[in-house]
Chains A and B, each alone.
Chain A
Amino acid sequence: MEEMKNNSSHRLDMEAIIGFVLQTGLFLSLGFLLSGLGWHFIRFGNLQFNYQISSGTLWGLWRDNFHLFFSAGWRPRLLINMGMAILITTPFVRVLVSFLYFCFIQQNVKYTLFTLFVLLALTYNLI
């Protein structure tokens, strides 16, 4: 009975956390994208963007965004790029949370290894 209650509460926490991660990532991303679009329209009077993302990787995109942010390179494209970076990172964070859950809370070796594989494969692709 105690194990069922523990499993039930773990299940509750895990799903709540994953739902939170996914929803927050999506809404933050949309917020940045809409802000960037709005700022661009106010500044330039149109919604045509004439730049490409040359960062190459997600890590590169985040690095370039932080560089722009801290070097006072505040432009609408910073918000657009942030929105895209957050959106693309969201599933990665979801997998990371799943890994931590299976490893430290459920202590399930099989699913720790499965999530670790997915996490490492994503990390390799994104860095």
Chain B
Amino acid sequence: MITFPILLAVSLIAGFIGSLSGMGGGVILIPVLTFLGLDIKKVIAVSIVSVIATSSGAAAAYVKDRLTNLKVGMFLEVFTIIGGWTGALLTVRLSQSSLYILFGSLLLISWGLLLVKLRENSSEQIIQDKFSSWLELEGEYYDQALSKTIRYKAVRAYFGAPLMLLAGLLAGLLGIGAGAVKVLIHDLVMKLPPKVSTSTSNLIIGVTALSGASVYLAKGLIDPGLAAPVIVGVSVGAFSGTRILNRLKNENVRRIFLIILIVFGVEMIIRGINGG
């Protein structure tokens, strides 16, 4: 039987590593708790509630720093909320084996994406399309590192929006924030600056998680005995992670996370193939 101290410790570590890597606590939490014998659907349900906590904390800080584009966030939430709700509905209907395999596959895809250096600074001239212009998807923020105001315009909202449906689906299905997917969409598709991508993604994650959580609440899958220590542990862990992030080398954080992702990814897939 899994005890409170173990739950709390796992959640603390998950929140800590998740915040260091920017991929959130669910990616660590779900494999470890299921390995310890907990039902994957209940773990997914609790994980998505904890995502609301970590997202709220991060988003509050970024919004106050004026990094978040509220219009981009609100527009894309129209799509992620549908995806999140649909994903959660799928979870309650899918078998445990399917969920293990899906989650393991996601971890391996994340491992692949993390290996590749995707966020390169582009000097291309951004010409905003008419749709994105009509949506008023532009803004500015003061970049403290560069000591100057950065002005930007989002593009290809017609493409980014349906992709956010997919991101929401992943989030609701697997009990994660899917922040990495959302940031990629903001960054690569909509050409938002990295800091705006990350901060806006954090804002969106909370609402996406809420739409998924509503389904799990309705199905009685949110166990308060699990949820309470997980929410507290992940929140404290994430907060601690942000405090020490600057002291760690990016490369070391990335290496540790690459190992974790591939080990967990393979382990989850094997478990799924073996029937959960």
Contacts and interface: CB of A to CB of B under 8 A. Distances in A.
B56 A25 contact: yes
B63 A19 contact: yes
A15 B82 contact: no
Contacts of B68: 15
Interface in A28-47: 29-30, 33-34, 36-37, 46-47
Interface string A63-96: 0000000000000010011011001101110110
A53 B221 CA distance: 8
A39 B125 CA distance: 59
B81 A37 contact: no
Nearest to A55: B217
Contacts of A25: 56
Given A34-B232, A84-B49, A122-B211, A22 B66 contact: no
A48 B60 contact: no
A14 interface: yes
Contacts of B209: 91
A91 B64 contact: no
Nearest to B71: A111
A50 B70 contact: no
A77 B94 CA distance: 31
Contacts of B57: 22-23, 26
Nearest to A61: B217
B63 A118 contact: no
Given A22-B63, A30-B232, A90 B74 contact: no
A53 B74 contact: no
Interface string A94-127: 1100100010000010110011011001100110
B56 A53 contact: no
Given A26-B53, A91-B52, A58 B217 contact: yes
Contact of A126 (B214, B227, B232): B214
B129 interface: no
Contacts of B70: 14-15, 18, 98
Nearest to A41: B4
Given A121-B81, A121-B211, A49 B228 contact: yes
Contact of B220 (A34, A54, A102, A121): A54
A47 B6 CA distance: 11
B43 to A, nearest CB: 15
B50 to A, nearest CB: 9
Contacts of A92: 210
Nearest to B135: A110
Nearest to A60: B217
B206 to A, nearest CB: 4
B150 to A, nearest CB: 15
B167 interface: no
4 tightest Cβ-Cβ pairs between the two chains A and B: A49-B225, A47-B4, A125-B214, A22-B60
Interface of A: 11, 14-16, 18-20, 22-23, 25-26, 29-30, 33-34, 36-37, 46-58, 61, 77, 80-81, 83-84, 87-88, 90-92, 94-95, 98, 102, 108, 110-111, 114-115, 117-118, 121-122, 125-126
